[in-house]
Amino acid sequence: MPKDDHREGIGGMINPRRYGIERVAYLLMRISGLGLLAYFIGHIYETSNILRGKVGWNEFMAMISTTEGHIIMSIVIAMCVFHTVNGVRVMLGHGGVGVGTPARPDYPYDPASQNYRHKIGIYSAMVLAAIAMMYGIAVMFGE
């Protein structure tokens, strides 16, 4: 990237503070996507331990069945739910669903594409992710 481009770079891309909940959802979508990719790689390694036989498998299970392991798993559950629900919202938006219809704008120009339907979608994704995470914590750590 040329120095005189004056681009914000990754720091500007991940800054969620200036443009409302849509930008927060954009950031969380990226973080959860990368997190799930990392988990996917870890999961392949985890399940490959079955090749070491029953003893090897149980050893590995004991190693990850810790408080830290359960916390990581509950975060994975939250990321998975958020990425799925928000992904459905974004895909619908990409298909032109719920982004409003073109019309002559009236001041103060509230953008129709940032409407309540999408905001509800974003908040729903966050709430569902939190509920799923709490359920996961309850199951893993016991009632």
Partner 1 sequence: MAQVSSISNEQSPTAKSIILKISRFNPEHDESSGFMEFNIKYEKWTTVLEAILDVKKHFDHSVAVRYSCRQATCGSCGMIINGKPKLACFTKISELDSNVVTVEPMNNFPVIRDLAVKFEQLFDTHQKIKPYLIRDDTELVSDEKEFLQSPEEVEQYIQFANCIKCGLCNSACPTMATDSSFVGPQALAQAYRYVADSRDKGKDSRLKIIDDSHGIWRCHFAGSCSQVCPKGVDPAMGIQLLRGYMLGFRS
Residues making contact with partner 1 (CB under 8 A): 1-2, 4-10, 12-13, 18-20, 22-23, 26, 29, 90, 93-96, 99-100, 102-107, 109, 111-114, 118
d(CA 74, CA 11): 27
**How remote is the C-alpha of 30 from its chain's centroid?**
7
Cβ distance to partner 1 smaller for residue 54 or 104: 104
Cβ distance to partner 1 smaller for residue 4 or 143: 4
In the complex, the smallest distance separating the C-beta of residue 60 from partner 1, rounded to whole angstroms, is: 37
In the complex, the smallest distance separating the C-beta of residue 129 from partner 1, rounded to whole angstroms, is: 19
In the complex, the smallest distance separating the C-beta of residue 84 from partner 1, rounded to whole angstroms, is: 16
In DSSP notation, 27-49 reads: HHHHHHHHHHHHHHHHHHHHHHG
Cβ distance to partner 1 smaller for residue 22 or 46: 22
d(CA 22, CA 118): 8
In the complex, the smallest distance separating the C-beta of residue 40 from partner 1, rounded to whole angstroms, is: 20
d(CA 32, CA 13): 15
Going by the DSSP 8-state scheme, the letter that residue 99 receives in this structure is: S
